[in-house]
Chain A
Amino acid sequence: MTVFRPGRRSGRRRYRPGRLLSRGSRLSMWAGLLIGIGVYVLFGIVPAAGNVIISFTDYTGLPGAPVHNVGFSNYSSMGTTQSAGFTPAVVATVVFVLAVTIAQNALALLLAHRLSGQGRMAAAGRVLVFLPIALGVTIVGLIWILVFDPQQGPAASLFGAVGVHSAFFGASGWAMPLVIFVQVWQNAGFSTLVFIGGLRAIDPQIYEAAGIDGIRPWQRLRRITFPLLAPAVTANVLLAVVGAFTTYNLIYVLTDGQYGTQTLGMLAFNAAFGSFQANLGYGAAVTVVLFVLTLIVALPLMALLRYRERRLLGTS
């Protein structure tokens, strides 16, 4: 009788998936993996670590300029008059992220519901809603600047017809809502496609069974569609939250962070590369805060959405 003893070589070779590959293939696999990790470390981890280090200095980016360790002063100055603009930027960021996440997902869900069919109109609709992403930030920004030109833009005529006159992107009360609108307009197409994927993954037989049981459309949406769409909701909400936190380029094009639209991303850019003052140390500190803030929001949110998925789908 042969007794199996762990750790001791038996006569038979243990099953290892890697052994399915030839030595050359295994080498190629490991080489590819190492190159990938190397690239990620070199262009992802090293700059990120460098950014954290810079946040503790007074680095200006100027060749020859001395760089001093300033400890936590870049962080402790946030919210004081010494580095004004931080607190309003936090408020603007929270408003921007909340509004974009809610509006983008609500709109995308509605669009997905209307465009998930197989017909030509639905296909054309999907292309149309996805188009803004392909246009790119600069084009999208310029389009909406022209639309909301208070002198000769179509929006000025439209609002003017009902007695509303505004400087739009140049008015404190309008600039942030309009920037949110453009961000949603540009990105709703991607969220829509994710939702469409989720909708198509739902087994049609479930709907047929629900139809036989006489379940009403609203109940069908609430009891079947929405729960089964949970993985798509998780992906879309997280992508919208992280995307909104890190947005600065669209705001840069539309308002340059003026008129109440300076989010943390925009503040970091202006602090580090703004024409008035190049303070890479402070700019780096703002990005670190932005990163931490994103983690604080995104990680619990992800846990919550995963929990929701398990609860709704009944999976462990």
Chain B
Amino acid sequence: MRKTSLLSASLAAAVTLAAGACSSGGSAGGGGATTLKIITWVNPPAVSAINAIDAEFHKKYPNITVKLQTAVNVNGPYETLLQQTVDSGGADIVTSVTQLQPLPLNPNRNNETPLQFWSTSGAFAPLNGQSFLTDYQPSALAAETYNGKVYGLVSGTYQEGVFYDKQTFAKYHLTVPTTYSQFLAVCQTLKSRGVTPLFTALGNVGPVYMQFLYYEAMIDLWYPHAPGGNLATALEKGTAKWTDPNFIQGMNEEKAVAQYLEPNYTGVPWESMPGDFAKGKGAMLLDGSWDLSAVQQANPSMQVGFFPLPFSNVAADNKPYLADDLTFEVLNSSPNKAAAMKWLQFFSSPSVYAQYVNTTGISSSQNSGTFSGYSAKALGSWFGQGVNRNVFYPVLSPNNGYYDQETYWPYLQLAVVQGSKTPAQAAATYQQDWKAP
């Protein structure tokens, strides 16, 4: 009997020791060293910024060592790593490029993204009650909120609009346009001087990136007049229709603006776009802020400014498109949740967060702060400002199936811009195909 008890006790001790040795982090010997594991993908500025933060965090909390694991890219490799990690609890903090919101109108397991499923099914720890949440803008918190609980920390946003070469504007005595008419006048002036006014590239990616035009047109002309202040909800409820005159006007204006793009922009390789702009192939670039670091690398001396592509003649209605970017989630299965919250608290402190924003070029999602990075300078007063895509994106979201309709939404936009369809025809087709989810 004694032998059996001794054997059982030894076995239990061995299992406990083995379990401790096998766990990814955890404290060794109560109050001892902790290894906090974060996973993300290879995005050099973000990886560099997080590594720097981890080193400073370790200085402040010597008993916590942060280990950053990366997958080669955000697509397949990271998706696989993320799934494995969530399933196995193999890390403490995971990162994502999509957010919990907007959820489909009637969310279920088949129309939710993996991240939405994990968030709504308890895979992530709620951040409610953490003091750092008050540092972030309400829209950033709303993007990760479900049933009153915040499941992630949106570290920043990216913005779309017009990036312009300040030297070219100065050379031709141009001022930054704030209305549609002013913008056309600027384009006309540049064109008359033999300069390509507007540059973008849809080669290899297709007309989905016509969004540089159609999202802005919807934000500036349609969204301000949306019933209830939310275009997505209005369309879903049928209180707004795709045949709305504001949307038709937007498509008419898209066509007019597209005349100032470089010839054959649908075939210009997407990857070369920031480099082409940096080489002076266009005075203005229609793009997202994620390409600013590439512009800087290609031509460090280039002075870049930014303004929202104006489709309205009411200057106050013209705002940039803005979408949430890299987001941190704490795994509910993490044995180091307290350390993970400490890391997020440290990350959110003003000086550390500013360092992160300046290094990554991401736009701030905090309520305040002083930022001096290239993006902050280029975006100026628009840095972190704009209309979040959530006000209309759900109705265009692939999860709701609208991209899969017969007309392929962006292709019809291209047809309008290239003149093979009229805006009224396109609007009628959109309305005909539209089925509220």
Contacts and interface: CB of A to CB of B under 8 A. Distances in A.
Interface of A: 58, 60, 62-66, 81-85, 145, 148-151, 156, 165-171, 255-256, 258-259, 273, 275-277
23 contacts: A63-B87, A65-B109, A66-B109, A84-B404, A84-B405, A84-B407, A145-B269, A148-B267, A149-B267, A150-B203, A151-B262, A151-B272, A151-B281, A165-B264, A167-B203, A167-B265, A167-B266, A170-B203, A170-B265, A171-B267, A256-B205, A275-B75, A276-B398
Contacts of B203: 145, 149-150, 167, 169-170
5 smallest CB-CB distances across A and B, nearest first, come from: A170-B267, A167-B267, A170-B266, A258-B206, A167-B264
Nearest to B75: A275
A62 B117 contact: yes
Contacts of A256: 204-206
A63 B407 CA distance: 32
A169 B75 CA distance: 24
B267 A81 contact: no
Majority SS at the chain A contact face = loop
A280 to B, nearest CB: 12
B373 interface: no
B268 interface: yes
Interface in B205-230: 205-207
A149 B110 contact: no
B236 interface: no
A81 B398 contact: no
B114 A255 contact: no
A81 B406 contact: yes
B56 interface: no
Interface string B176-191: 0000000000000000
A145 B204 contact: yes
A149 to B, nearest CB: 6
Given A82-B404, A149-B272, A167-B266, 17 more contacts: A64-B117, A81-B405, A81-B406, A84-B406, A84-B407, A85-B404, A85-B408, A148-B267, A150-B203, A150-B263, A165-B264, A166-B267, A167-B265, A167-B267, A170-B267, A171-B264, A255-B206
Interface in B394-415: 398-399, 403-408
B280 to A, nearest CB: 12
A170 B268 contact: yes
Nearest to A273: B76
Interface residues of B, number: 34
B407 to A, nearest CB: 8
B83 to A, nearest CB: 6
Given A81-B406, A84-B405, A62 B264 contact: no
Contacts of B83: 62-63
B202 interface: yes
Interface of B: 75-76, 83, 87, 109-110, 114, 117, 202-207, 262-269, 272, 276, 281, 398-399, 403-408, 433
Contacts of A171: 264, 266-267
Contacts of A259: 206, 266
Contacts of B266: 167, 170-171, 259
A150 B204 contact: no
A160 to B, nearest CB: 10
B398 A168 contact: no
A204 B110 CA distance: 67
A168 B405 contact: no
Contacts of A273: 76
Contact of A150 (B75, B109, B267): B267
A93 B229 CA distance: 45
A185 B205 CA distance: 24
Contacts of A148: 267
B110 A65 contact: yes
A62 B114 contact: yes
B264 A150 contact: yes
Contacts of B205: 256, 258
A295 B265 CA distance: 40
A15 B405 CA distance: 68
Nearest to A58: B110
Nearest to B263: A165
B206 A151 contact: no
Given A84-B404, A256-B206, A168 B264 contact: yes
A64 B121 CA distance: 11
A63 B264 CA distance: 43
Nearest to B84: A63
A84 B399 CA distance: 15
Contacts of B272: 149, 151
A270 B268 CA distance: 22
B268 A150 contact: yes
A173 to B, nearest CB: 11
A167 B268 contact: yes
A165 B264 CA distance: 8
Nearest to B410: A258
A276 B208 CA distance: 11
Given A84-B405, A258-B207, A60 B269 contact: no
Given A62-B117, A63-B83, A258-B206, A151 B268 contact: yes
A141 to B, nearest CB: 10
A63 B123 CA distance: 13
A85 B262 CA distance: 30
A81 B264 contact: no
B267 A277 contact: no
A85 B272 CA distance: 29
Given A84-B405, A151-B281, A169 B267 contact: yes
A145 B203 CA distance: 9
A58 B109 CA distance: 11
Of A63, A150, A169, most buried by chain B (CB within 10 Å of CB) is A150
A276 B403 contact: yes
Contacts of B403: 276-277
A125 to B, nearest CB: 32
B117 A65 contact: yes
Contacts of A150: 203, 263-264, 267-268
A44 to B, nearest CB: 23
Of B207, B265, B268, B276, most buried by chain A (CB within 10 Å of CB) is B268
A149 B269 contact: yes
B198 to A, nearest CB: 14
Contacts of B398: 276-277
A171 to B, nearest CB: 6
A83 B403 CA distance: 10
A83 to B, nearest CB: 7
